[in-house]
Each structure stands twice: as C-alpha cells, then as structure tokens.
C-alpha cells in the first residue's frame, strides 16, 4: 500500500490526527529508507497515540514482522524488553514445542546488540521498529539512554528505529549530564470539540439517527468538558447515559424531537450519577442494573437509588469492634489536635469549652486558622499519647490489657493508622491517623461520642 | 482482629501453676499446658478462686501420662473417674468442634456462592432490556470486591471455602498474599506459577495438575512474562466457561503501586484471557480509591459483596451451644460476658471465641471433679447433631469426696431446703437419707437434680424462642440480637430487665388478630421441640401448656370464655364495666387504650388476661439459672481465669512483679513479717524492702517514694543502704563497686521498662514516668 493511501485511510479512521499521521509517515519514509534513530511521540492521555501507531504499522507493513510493540509497564526488567523485541523481530512465538523459551536469552544491552546485529545483519535493508509504550516508566534506567541511540550502537549492520510513546514531555526524560541526542518529536495535541464529536459519531449505535445521537453527545460535552477532556471518559459516560436518555422514546413517553423533555426525564441520572460514574464509585455493571429512565420513575426515587448504589452495599462505614472505634477516634484526635491542648480537652472533670479555648478562638477567623491542622493533614503521634486519649474518652473504666495493643497493631495492618517511625524501632512508635473527618464522624456517632466537641480549630 | 492468645502470655497470669509445654504434634485432644498445683499451694490458697480444692495433686505424679489428667481431690479421686473425665472431654469437644466449624462454613457459604456466581457470569454479554446500548470504551476487568470484616485472623477460613467452591466450578484460582507480593515481579511470578500449576503446564510439557506444587523447577531460565499467559491459555484448551480468578486476600497489605501496575497489565490481556480479580477488603471501598490511580480504576468493573458475617456466625453458635445446650457445660452470666466482650469489644474474632470456649471446657474437665456428672446428661450424638436430652446412669460409682462435694454445693442445700419446705415430713426423710446414704444420693437424688437441670435448659430455650417471636412483631430498631438476649436471659430477672419491659409493652399493645398469630406461633414453638420435659419448671406453679391453651381459647372466643372463667376464678370482671381508662395507673401503663376503639371491652379484657399469661410463661421459662441445683457445676463461672489467660496485662504484670514480687515468687525470705504465714498480712509488711529482693525490685520500690524528679545520688544511697544488709544472710557484704554496678544495672532496667527517663533539665536527675505510690 502506498504512503498516500495509508495516510487517507488513517485520517478517516482517526479524525483530527491527519497531520500527525502525515508527519509520522514522512519520518518513516519508504521501508528501505534510513529513518531517524529515535522518534518520540507524546501528548496527553487518550489522544490516540498508541492506536494511531498500531494501525499505522499494520497498514504500513502489512503481514511483516518488523515491528515490536512493548509496554514500559509490563517490561519491568531490561531482559523482558530485549527478549520480547527479539521475539517480535524474529517472528518467534514461545510455545509448548520450544518449551516456552524466548528466541534468545538476552540479559544485557551488550547481549541485545549482539543478538540484534546477528538477527538483522543478513543484508536486509528494511527498517525494523521498536515501539515502547508508556516509555516514562523507563526513565532513570540505562535502557532508555541506550534505546535512544540504538541505531548508532547497531551501526551500519542493521537499520533500526525506536519509537517512544509517552504522556510526559521529553524535557523530563533528558539525562542530566548530557550525552544523549534529542529524538525527533511528534506531538499529539488534545482533541478539539469538533474532533471529539467526530470521534464519538463513530460510536453511534446501529439503528439510532446520528443527528439525534450527536446532539446528545454535544450536550454532554458541554456539561462535562470542564472536568475531563479525555475522549475515553466521555465515551464511557455516553455509553452509560445514552441508553437511559433514549429509553422514554422506546416507551412512547416522548418523541425524538422533544429534546428538552427527554433531558428533563434524564435529569436525575445526569446530576446524581455523572460524578459517581466518572470516579467509578458506581461500576458499569452496577449501573446497568439501575432501572431505565422513563416517565414512570419518580426523579427522587432514581436519585435515591443511585445514592444507595454508591454509598450502600457495604462501602459505608466499616463495622469495627466497639473499643477499636474509640481507638480510631482517639487516633484522629491525636493527629489533628495540638498536644499542648490535651490537658484542656481530656483532663477529667473539666469542660472542653474552658476559657483557654475561647481566648484562642477569637484570634481565628470564622473558618478557623490559616494553618490549622485540618488543612495540613494528620500529624504523627506517639502511641502513649494515643492511649492516654483513648482511656480518657472511653466511657467506662477499663484495664490496660494486651487486647488494646493488638487492636493498634491491626489498625496499622488495615492501614487506618500509618506507622511513621521505622519498622525496626520497637519503642517510641509513632503513627498517623489515615481516616477522613466524615468517616470519623460516622464512627463516633455509632458509639454516641461527640467528636466535634473535642476537635480544635475545625471548620 | 488478630488473636491475642499466645502460649507465652499465660505464664504471667497464673500464680500457683507450673507449666508443661508439650510438643504440639501429639494427639489433638492432648493439651498444651496442664495446670498443676505446687505443693506449697496452701499459703496462697486464699488468692485463687473457688476451685482450689480441685487443683491439688501429689507432686510426684507423672503428669504427662493420661493426657495431662491427674486425680483431683488431693489425689483421692479414683483412676476410673479421672479416665472418665478424659473420655468425656474428648466425647464432648470433638463433636462440638465439628459443630462450630460446620456453622462457620454454613454461614459463609451463602456469600461465597454469590461470588462464585458472579465469577461464572463474568465476561458473558448481559442481555439488558435497554435499547441504544453502546460498548464501553474500556477493556474492563471483572472485579469482585469482597468485604470480609476487620478480623483478618478469620479470613483464611473464608477465602479457603471461596477457593474450594471456585475449584468445584472448574475455575482456576490464584491466591496472592501480600507478604509474597512486595513487588510487581514477585506478584507476577507468584501468579504465573499458580496458573501454570492449574493449567498443568511445565517446560517438560507434562501435566502437573493442581496439586503438583513444584512448578518453580520447570521455569528455570524463563522470565515471568505475562505474555506467556495468553499463549498457555490458547494452548491448554481449558474447560468451557472457566476463568482465571486472582484473589488478593488482604488488599490493604499490598503496595498500592504494585496492584496498580498489575491491573494495567491484566487489562491488556483480559480480552483474550478471562481474568477475574477478587479483592478482599477489610475496611471500606474508600481504600480502593485511595490506593489505585484513576487510570486503573477505570479498568475495573466492580461488583461489591458483603461477606462480613462473624456476628451472624456467633449468633448461630450461641443459639446451638448455649441456648439449645449442645454442650452440657453452659456459661454463667459473668463468664459469658467475658466471652462475648472479647468478641464484640475487641476483635470480632470467631477463632478467639472458639479458643476461649475450648479453654473453659478444658478447665471444666481437667479441674472440676464433678465434671464426671456430665456423663449422666447426654445431648450431642457423635455426628454433632443435637439429640434429645436423656439422663443415664453414671458409668462409675462416685467416690466419697465427690459425694461430699455435691452435698456441699449451696444450690444442693437449697434444693433440700425446698424439699423440706414443700413436702413436710416426707421431704425431711428424703433429705436425711440423701445426706447420710451415699448410694441413695447417687442413684435417686442425682438423677432428679439433673432432670431439673435438663428441664430448665429446655424451658429456657423455649423462652428465648418465644422472646424472639415477640420481637418479630416489633419494629426493627427494637430488635436485640440473640447473643444479647441470651445475656439478658441469664443475667436479669424477667421483671427487672428493661428489654423485657419493652417486650411486655409490645404484647400489651397487640390486638386480637395479632395476639392470635402470636399464640399460634408459640404453639408451634412448643410443639416443634419433641419430648419436652417441663415438669420441674412447672413446679413453680405455671403449667405452660395449659396456660397457653387457656390464652388461645380466650382470644378465640373472648365473650364466652370470659364469662365462664372470669367469674369462676373470682376475677372481678364486675368492677371493669364499659369504661376503658379508669385510673391514673391505666393511663400511665396503657395510654394506647385511649386511641383503640376497634376492640370491644370483652376483647380488651381477654387480651389483658392473655398478656398476664404470656408474662407468667416467660417469667417461668426465663427464671434465673441460679435456682437450678448443681448450677455451680454446669454453669461455668471462672471469668477471671478466662480474662487473665486471654487478655494478658503486661504492664500490670511487670508492676506486680517488681512491687509485689512475693505474689509471683512466693518465697519465704522476702515475706518479712509474714514468715508466720498468716493471711492477713497488712500493707506495711508488704512494703518493707528486704535485702533479699531482686535489685530491680529494690530500685523500683525505692523510686516509688520519690517525686517527679529523682536525684540519682539519693536513689543510689538508699539502694546501697538496703543492699548492704545482705551481710545478714550472706557470708560477706558486697563491696562498694559491686553495689555501684548493681545499681547501674537496676536503674538501666528501670529505664528500659519505661519507668524513668533521663532528662537535661536538672543534672544528675532522672524523670519518673509513672504516678502515685
């Protein structure tokens, strides 16, 4: 297939990416041309980098094994990366017959260069490509530096080009001490609104009028583009919300021309769900179980059902043993209250709203101090302080038994407390409380403890 | 959460015991430690509770024989009685243990099945009624988030049954534990090894099968590469509909970045290989959001399951063990509270609960000479099913001491008193005979007393069922779980408990149809338990069955019955004519009558009488267990022993060891004035600092007299003046430098134990970290 054909085909498939496709094609040139040693493809996530490259190569060199696609996340050692590359170039597939071994064992860069020149040195003219996805994972390793200059290392023996794909700009890759050449940069910009709509037009389900669909997508884009411009996220939302939106049409409640009425019917789904769907507090399958939109459902019921879906089903407060709840609350108080005020708050027989506190209050504005702990995050506290607060807030007198210590240990394993002192220090252990205010409020409500009375400088 | 019980911890809590630790490989019913009283027990006899008489033993007895069972009653217990206790323990514990583990499995099973169904249904297109469906742009991994409760100790059982069930549904299960998955390579290695073992893949090409184990050998030279997974899956032609289930049992323990990377990799393969991920979460869903990035969360299609059922499980256990008396040994109020508190307040741990239960049963059979009596009551058959109660003859003749012990029990004495009171002369004769004639006591009095116990247990179980039936008619908020009901049942009188009052109010609010329903339920409860023997409960003047019958008749036909009965009994229907609220008391007690216009007066009257009947039935059923003869034996009372054994108090132990060392050591030299051996040593004698004491103990006692700051030199002088007196019993007094060295060591130990710390504020001073004397 000629370069021009590939270009037109890809531009059609990937709206808004024509320029980049042309740029890449011009860099690759004819299969036998010597191409740049390293091409760096970058741009924000979900801007089509990987998909464009994948389909480009499948058209450009259809049926030939001159491209190796590897992922920076998956190839966590140099060996994995090298061996996969060689496998792809050699067209080798590990299987039962070859005892699942790779083409060659290849532990280091030296090995790799030797094996590669052995493999490619047979007079072949055509360029071999190595595409590394999520290349930012290779930062700081020697592999990256050598990949950038791989074609130099192989020299005249083989015609090799490396394409790095990343969401991070090249400046962050540059080695501090120089010595590395800069690769050729290809930038994939964020999609514009028109391009986004073009892409989503491909998603239009069969049988649906595309004009109607696009109006819906347009409206959704307007609502949503401030939060995220990722095309993938938008597609996800469209896939989740469109069936709810169009349902009244099938039920005969509204016609396709009554756009604002449809929106009104779909309103609860939009307002209650978009955020939760985006954050995946409601997953795809859970969402599909919610009853479809129709004029029969009352809006409040729908909103209620959605809230329950996100917050119910066990994800609310965790059920802790009685004293463990108090331990957690005590940990929160120790993390957020200054220790100098402990006497005021926890000494027995004294009201927490004693005068020391009032005087302090006046200095702060209505929202509390600028540097209040609430904004700074939890402080580390010593276990002794935690225990002192714990014994003072627990309603009934109790002996200090080993059970309490065990509970502290298990709170650390559950990551509700994080240990800040070293693991090898047995005494003077320090922890931080890793739980938010809302959870603590819910927990203290369940044991009838007014946590707000004991919190200093909270708003 | 984590169980506290370690064998080491029990050492500090028992004063007069020696411990023998046996290798755990012995038969399962043989136990780890055997309490055996020292021969010097007498001097300390006052300190330990009640059972002192039972624990004594001749010192030269070989205690490792007989599974640690030793003849009790100062060694006078016959061997066959000891053998019987040993056999009884095994007979009782084995089926009970079976019952407990079965219960746990059954309770977990429901949730486990849900997860299995989810796994089997994953990656199949769900047909929805909605039109206009679009495919999601993300390749989502089917993920089950399983909330398994905060007690991580019990999780292994839960996940084991999940794993077993997944295997049964022909899925391939990969169990990942956080301790072996500290990095991504480790995690993938662990996963790929297990998949290979499951799919029967090794480099040799031979199938290794699931149990094959040593898969690591075949992988030499191959990096752990996920792309192999796809190849294996295609090659292995797996069973249809099976999935690869990756279980992360303790999600909290995994490094967030590791899981994040793992998900991103797995998402690349989940279209070719059906990978299902199961996260075991102890806390809340928030944790997933905290540890994973947005990118990887969007690759998960999460379904949430709540498998936290330890409370349900405990309720079921308590019903079968205590309320329905699967075990002959029941728990008294105190001990039951200790058992339950440990569970509710600290751990939610079923394993811990079972351990405490086992300990109590061991204590019963090892140390209670009357535990042989449980041979006469049998409840469980060998399979752990509840059979009916039956009283059998005791397989051995009780010895003189045992008989005396029975006669000495307060409840038995009360039993005789009551006999005398009720039967007059006959009762007196009976009592005299029982007190004099040992054979008569064993052959006729004992079975009668035990029948009393059995009858009480049955009626108690009946009463609890009835209370639950009443509860079902009440709003959800007022329901109490069974574990609490049982606690009320054994600790409160029916007329006193607040919850019982709520129940009474609830039945008094009922109308005729509701009352009819309730009575029908009572009837079926009564009929469901076969071979009821309520004779002894009914001696207190309430015949449960006939009362119920009367109540039913009343409600069915208020007008008629009331006429016959109300006047017949002399009940003053006459003074209750048509007015509904007459007195202030009526107003206070039953204000709802003001609004109730639907019932006729007769009906109201009938309902009132019914309520009275139900109350007296419940009062009879839930009467305190202290009324039952021999309750001292069959209701476990040693809550103190349970507490000290399972909730060790390290701090208090250290303080006692230093401040009151004779409590542990029990030596003659340090007791000072108490050399005479009388029990009423006063505090002053306790506080005398003797040179024979341990150096640290001397330093500790001296420092107690100081204020917040301790002058090291003063402390040293005081220390040396005590230590110098060693010359009274040692050949020569210690030298100055030796004293100095010993003082340094003692004060260092004090610092190490956290009683003092050094300070910069005042030279040559240390700060005291404890208060008081």
- pLDDT for res A240: 83
Tell me whether strands B386-391 and B765-768 are parallel, antiparallel or unpaired: unpaired
Best mutation target among A410, A419, A442 (most B Cβ atoms within 10 Å) is: A410
pLDDT class of B579 with cuts at 50, 70, 90: very low
Sequence-ordered alpha helix ranges (H) in B409-491: 410-423, 425-436, 438-440, 446-472, 482-491
Asked if B342 and B647 touch (Cβ cutoff 8 Å), the reply is: yes
H or E element that contains B229: helix B227-236
Interval A320-333 mean pLDDT: 92
Q: What's residue B719's pLDDT?
A: 92
Contact B203 A323 (CB under 8 A): no
Distance CA B222, CA B192 (A): 11
pLDDT of residue B42: 36
**Which of A:294-353 have CB within 8 Å of B?**
313-324
**Chain B residue with minimal CA distance to A105?**
B221
pLDDT digits (tens, 9 = 90+) for A393-430: 887 777 778 888 888 988 998 888 999 988 788 777 89
* Homologous superfamily of the A3-187 domain (CATH): P-loop containing nucleotide triphosphate hydrolases (3.40.50.300)
B85, B87, B92, B98: CA torsion to nearest 10:
150
Looking at residue A280, its pLDDT comes to 79
Q: Which residues contact A315 (CB under 8 A, 6 or more apart)?
A: B147, B284, B285, B286, B304
CB contact under 8 A, A74 and B268: yes
Residue B569: predicted pLDDT: 42
- Segment of A154-158, A454-458, B640-644, B739-743 carrying the highest mean pLDDT: B739-743
Beta bridge partners of B756: B768
Q: Which of B226, B294, B643 sits opposite A74 (nearest CB)?
A: B226
Interval A296-304 mean pLDDT: 68
Given a contact cutoff of 8 angstroms between Cβ atoms, the answer to whether B225 and A84 are in contact is yes
Which tens digits make up the pLDDT trace of A204-223? 887 788 888 888 888 888 88
Using DSSP's 3-state secondary structure scheme, residue A104 falls into: coil
Tell me which residue in B135, B253, B289 faces A413 most closely, judged by beta carbons: B253
Task: Report the C-alpha gap between B33 and B18 in whole angstroms.
Answer: 9
DSSP state letter for B150: S
CA dihedral angle for residue B691, residue B697, residue B701, residue B703, rounded to 10 degrees? 110
A74 to chain B, any CB pair closer than 8 A? The answer is yes
> Would the CB atoms of B134 and A242 count as touching at under 8 Å?
yes
Given a cut of 50, is residue B45 above it in pLDDT? Answer: no
Q: Do B285 and A315 touch (CB under 8 A)?
A: yes
Chain A hits for B647, Cβ within 8 Å: 399, 401-403
Q: How far A234 CA lies from chain B's nearest CA (Å)? A: 9
Q: How confident is the model at residue B47 (pLDDT cuts 50, 70, 90)?
A: very low
Q: Does domain B137-308 have CATH number 3.40.50.300?
A: yes
Q: B122 to chain A: nearest residue by CA?
A: A285
Out of B285, B298, B345, the one facing A322 most closely (by C-beta) is B345
- B657: phi then psi, degrees, rounded to nearest 5: -60, -40
The pLDDT value recorded for residue A164 is 92
- Which of A71, A84, A401 minimises the CB distance to B647? A401
Q: Do A45 and B265 touch (CB under 8 A)?
A: no
A332 pLDDT higher than 90: yes
pLDDT of residue B132: 64
Return the minimum-mean-pLDDT range out of B204-218, B539-553, B662-676.
B204-218
For chain A, give every domain's residue range.
3-187, 193-311, 322-454
A vs B, Cβ pairs < 8 A, gives 211
Say how many CA atoms lie within 13 Å of B535 toward its Cβ: 9
Distant-in-sequence, close-in-space partners of B220: CB < 8 Å, separation ≥ 6: B203
Domain extents for chain B?
7-104+312-451, 137-308, 494-623, 650-768
Interface of A with B in 413-442 (CB under 8 A): 413-416, 427, 436, 439
Average pLDDT over residues A420-449: 87
Residue-level pLDDT at B125 = 62
A-interface mutation test, from B114, B221, B225, most A Cβ less than 10 A away: B225
What's the average model confidence in pLDDT over A128-137? 89
pLDDT at B712: 92
- What integer is the mean pLDDT of A307-320? 62
pLDDT, one tens digit per residue, over B82-102 is 888 888 888 888 888 988 888
Residues A144 and A377: their CA atoms lie apart, in Å, by 37
Query: Could A101 and B222 be called an inter-chain contact, meaning their C-beta atoms sit closer than 8 Å?
Result: yes
B422 vs A379 pLDDT, higher one: A379
The beta-carbon neighbor of B252 closest among A400, A407, A413 is A413
Q: How confident is the model at residue B531 (pLDDT cuts 50, 70, 90)?
A: low
Whether the pLDDT of residue B741 is over 90: the answer is: yes
Whether A141 and A107 have beta carbons less than 8 Å apart is answered as no
The Cα–Cα gap between B270 and A250 comes to 34
User: What percentage of chain A carries pLDDT values higher than 90?
Assistant: 10
- The pLDDT-based confidence of A315 (bands split at 50, 70, 90) is very low
3-state secondary structure of B139: coil
Asked if this assembly's ipTM is beyond 0.95, the reply is no
pLDDT of residue B1 exceeding 70: no
pLDDT in the model for residue B742: 93
pLDDT at B565 over 60: no
The confidence score (pLDDT) of residue B597 equals 57
Residue among A401, A427, A429 with most chain B CBs within 10 A, to mutate: A401
Angle formed at CA A257 by CA A253 and CA A263, multiple of 5 degrees: 65
Q: Give first-to-last CA distance, chain B, whole Å.
A: 35
Judged by DSSP in three states, B387 sits in strand
Instruction: Order the strands of the B709-711 sheet from edge to edge.
Output: B709-711, B765-768, B756-758
Q: What is the pLDDT of residues A164-185, one digit of tens each?
A: 999 998 888 887 666 667 888 9
Which residue would you say has higher pLDDT here, A390 or A252?
A390
pLDDT digits (tens, 9 = 90+) for B289-307: 888 888 888 888 888 888 8
With a cut of 90, say whether residue A433 has pLDDT above it: yes
Q: Is A218 on the interface with B (CB under 8 A)?
A: no
pLDDT at position B532 is 60
Query: Measured between CB atoms, does A111 come within 8 Å of chain B?
Result: no
Distance CA A124, CA B646 (A): 77
**Is residue A290 over pLDDT 90?**
no
Q: Is B304's CB within 8 Å of A74's CB?
A: no
Q: B300: which chain A residues are within 8 Å (Cβ-Cβ)?
A: 280, 283
Cβ neighbourhood burial of A387 (10 Å; 0-12, 13-18, 19+): middle
pLDDT recorded at residue B571:
41
CA dist A223 and A220 (Å) reads 5
Query: Is B286–A95 a contact, with Cβ atoms under 8 angstroms apart?
Result: no
pLDDT for B130 beyond 70: no
| Other beta carbons less than 10 A from residue A424's beta carbon | 5
d(CA A215, nearest CA chain B) in Å: 15
B326: nearest Cα among B393, B373, B389:
B389
Tell me which residue of A67, A46, A42 sits closest to A57, measured CA to CA: A67
Contact between A318 and B253 using a beta-carbon 8 Å cutoff: no
Q: Do A233 and B298 touch (CB under 8 A)?
A: yes
Provide the mean pLDDT of chain B.
76
CB atoms within 10 A of CB B51: 17
Q: What DSSP element (H or E) covers A393?
A: helix A383-393
Of B156, B208, B145, the C-alpha closest to B350 is B156
For the stretch B234-237, contacts whose Cβ atoms lie closer than 8 Å and that sit 24 or more positions apart, written own/partner, are B234/B272, B235/A95, B235/A96, B235/B201, B236/B199, B236/B200, B236/B201
Task: Give the pairing of strands B36-37 and B141-147.
Answer: unpaired
- Check whether B283 has a pLDDT greater than 90: no
Q: φ and ψ at A199, to 5 degrees?
A: -65, -45
Q: Which residue has the higher pLDDT, B372 or B545?
A: B372
Per-residue pLDDT at A336: 92
């Amino acid at each position: 297939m000629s370069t021009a054909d590939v270009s037109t085909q890809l531009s059609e498939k990937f709206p808004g990416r024509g320029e980049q496709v042309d740029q890449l094609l011009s860099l690759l040139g004819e299969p036998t041309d010597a191409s740049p040693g390293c091409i760096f493809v970058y741009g924000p996530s979900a801007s089509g980098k990987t998909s464009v490259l994948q389909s480009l190569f499948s058209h450009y060199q259809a049926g030939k094994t001159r491209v190796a696609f590897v992922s920076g996340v998956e190839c966590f050692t140099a060996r994995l990366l090298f061996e996969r590359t060689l496998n792809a170039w050699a067209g080798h597939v590990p299987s039962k017959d070859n005892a699942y071994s790779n083409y060659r064992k290849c532990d280091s860069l030296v090995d790799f260069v030797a094996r590669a020149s052995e493999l490619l040195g047979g007079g072949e003219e055509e360029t071999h490509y190595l595409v590394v996805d999520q290349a930012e994972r290779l930062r700081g390793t020697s592999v990256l530096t050598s990949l950038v200059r791989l074609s130099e290392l192989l020299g005249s023996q083989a015609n090799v080009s490396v394409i790095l794909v990343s969401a991070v700009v090249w400046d962050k890759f540059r080695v501090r001490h120089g010595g590395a050449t800069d690769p050729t940069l290809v930038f994939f910009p964020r999609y514009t609104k028109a391009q986004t709509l073009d892409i989503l037009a491909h998603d239009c389900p069969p049988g649906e009028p595309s004009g109607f669909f696009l109006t819906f997508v347009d409206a959704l884009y307007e609502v949503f583009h401030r939060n995220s411009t990722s095309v993938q996220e938008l597609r996800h939302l469209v896939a989740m919300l469109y069936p709810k939106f169009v349902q009244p049409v099938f039920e005969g409640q509204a016609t396709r021309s009554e756009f604002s009425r449809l929106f009104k019917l779909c309103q609860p789904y939009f307002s209650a769900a978009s955020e939760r769907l985006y954050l995946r507090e409601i997953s795809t399958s859970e969402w599909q179980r919610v009853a479809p939109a129709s004029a029969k459902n009352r809006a409040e019921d729908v909103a209620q059902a959605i809230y329950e879906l996100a917050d119910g089903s066990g994800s609310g407060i965790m059920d802790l043993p009685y004293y463990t709840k108090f331990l957690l609350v005590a940990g929160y108080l120790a993390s957020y209250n200054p220790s100098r005020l402990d006497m005021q708050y926890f000494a027995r027989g004294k009201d927490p709203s004693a005068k020391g506190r009032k005087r302090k209050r006046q200095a702060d504005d209505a929202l509390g101090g600028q540097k209040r702990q609430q904004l700074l995050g939890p402080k580390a506290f010593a276990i002794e302080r935690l225990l002192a607060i714990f014994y003072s807030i627990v309603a009934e007198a109790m002996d200090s038994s080993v059970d309490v210590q065990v509970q502290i240990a298990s709170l650390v394993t559950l990551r509700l407390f994080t240990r800040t002192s070293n693991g090898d220090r047995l005494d003077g252990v320090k922890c931080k409380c890793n739980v938010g205010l809302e959870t603590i409020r819910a927990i203290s409500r369940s044991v009838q403890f007014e946590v707000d009375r004991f919190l200093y400088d909270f708003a | 959460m984590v169980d506290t019980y370690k064998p080491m911890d029990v050492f500090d809590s028992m004063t007069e015991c020696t411990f023998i630790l046996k290798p755990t490989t012995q038969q399962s019913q043989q136990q780890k430690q055997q309490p055996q009283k020292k021969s010097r027990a007498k001097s300390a006899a006052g300190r330990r509770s009640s059972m002192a008489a039972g624990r004594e033993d001749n010192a030269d007895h070989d205690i490792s024989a007989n599974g640690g069972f030793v003849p009790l009653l100062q060694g006078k217990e016959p061997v066959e009685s000891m053998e019987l206790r040993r056999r009884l323990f095994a007979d009782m514990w084995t089926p009970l243990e079976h019952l407990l583990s079965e219960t746990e499995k059954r309770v977990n099973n429901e949730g486990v099945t849900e997860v299995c169904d989810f796994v089997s249904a994953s990656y199949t297109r769900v047909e929805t009624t909605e039109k206009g469906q679009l495919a999601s742009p993300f390749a989502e991994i089917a993920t089950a988030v399983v909330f398994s409760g905060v007690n991580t100790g019990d999780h292994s059982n839960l996940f084991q049954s999940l794993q077993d069930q997944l295997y049964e549904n022909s899925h391939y299960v990969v169990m990942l534990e956080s301790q072996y998955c500290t990095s991504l390579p480790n995690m993938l290695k662990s996963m790929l090894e297990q998949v290979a073992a499951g799919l029967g893949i090794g480099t040799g090409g031979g199938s290794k099968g699931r149990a094959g184990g040593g898969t690591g050998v075949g992988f030499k030279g191959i990096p752990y590469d996920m792309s192999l997974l796809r190849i294996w899956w295609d090659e292995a032609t797996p069973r249809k509909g099976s999935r690869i289930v990756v279980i992360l049992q303790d999600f909290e323990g995994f490094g967030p970045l590791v899981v994040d990377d793992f998900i991103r990799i797995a998402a690349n393969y989940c279209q070719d290989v059906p990978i299902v991920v199961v996260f075991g979460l102890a806390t809340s869903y928030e944790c997933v959001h905290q540890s994973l990035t947005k990118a990887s969360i969007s690759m998960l299609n999460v379904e949430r399951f709540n498998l936290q059922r330890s409370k349900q499980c405990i309720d079921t256990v308590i019903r079968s063990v205590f309320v329905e008396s699967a075990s002959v040994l029941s728990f008294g109020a105190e001990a039951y509270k200790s058992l339950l508190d440990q569970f509710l307040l600290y751990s939610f741990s079923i394993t811990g609960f079972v351990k405490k239960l086992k300990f109590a049963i061991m204590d019963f059979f090892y140390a209670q000479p009357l535990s042989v009596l449980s041979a006469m009551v049998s409840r469980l058959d060998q399979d752990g099913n509840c059979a009916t109660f039956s009283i059998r003859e005791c397989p051995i003749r009780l010895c003189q001491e045992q008989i005396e012990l029975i006669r000495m029990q307060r409840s038995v004495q009360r039993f005789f008193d009551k006999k005398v009171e009720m039967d007059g002369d006959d009762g007196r004769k009976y009592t005299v005979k029982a007190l004099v004639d040992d054979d008569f006591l064993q052959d006729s009095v004992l079975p009668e007393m035990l029948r009393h116990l059995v009858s009480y247990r049955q009626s108690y179980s009946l009463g609890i069922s009835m209370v639950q039936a009443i509860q079902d008619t009440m709003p959800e908020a007022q329901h109490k779980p069974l574990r609490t009901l049982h606690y009320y049942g054994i600790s409160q009188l029916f007329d006193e408990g607040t919850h019982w009052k709520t129940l009474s109010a609830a039945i008094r609010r009922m109308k005729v149809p509701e009352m009819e329903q309730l009575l029908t339920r009572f009837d079926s409860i009564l009929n469901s338990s076969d071979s009821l023997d309520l004779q002894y409960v009914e001696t207190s003047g309430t015949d449960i069955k006939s009362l119920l019958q009367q109540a039913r008749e009343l409600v069915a036909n208020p007008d008629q019955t009331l006429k016959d009965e109300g006047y017949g009994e002399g009940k003053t229907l006459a003074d209750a004519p048509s007015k509904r609220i007459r007195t202030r008391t009526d107003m206070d007690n039953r204000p709802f009558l003001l609004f109730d216009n639907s019932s006729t007066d007769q009906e109201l009257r009938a309902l009132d009488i019914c309520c009275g009947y139900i109350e007296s039935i419940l009062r009879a059923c839930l009467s305190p267990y202290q009324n039952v003869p021999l309750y001292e034996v069959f209701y476990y009372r040693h809550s103190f022993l349970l507490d000290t054994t399972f909730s060790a108090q390290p701090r208090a132990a250290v303080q006692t060891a230093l401040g009151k060392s004779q409590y542990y050591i029990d030596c003659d030299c340090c007791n000072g004035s108490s050399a005479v051996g009388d029990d009423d040593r006063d505090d002053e004698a306790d506080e005398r600092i003797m040179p024979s004491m341990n150096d640290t103990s001397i330093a500790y006692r001296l420092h107690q007299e100081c204020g917040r700051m301790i002058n090291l030199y003063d402390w040293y002088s005081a220390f040396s003046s005590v230590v110098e007196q060693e010359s009274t019993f040692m050949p020569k007094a210690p030298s100055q430098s030796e004293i100095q060295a010993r003082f340094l060591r003692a004060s260092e130990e004090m610092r190490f134990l956290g009683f003092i710390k050094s300070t910069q504020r005042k030279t040559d001073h240390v700060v005291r970290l404890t208060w008081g004397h």
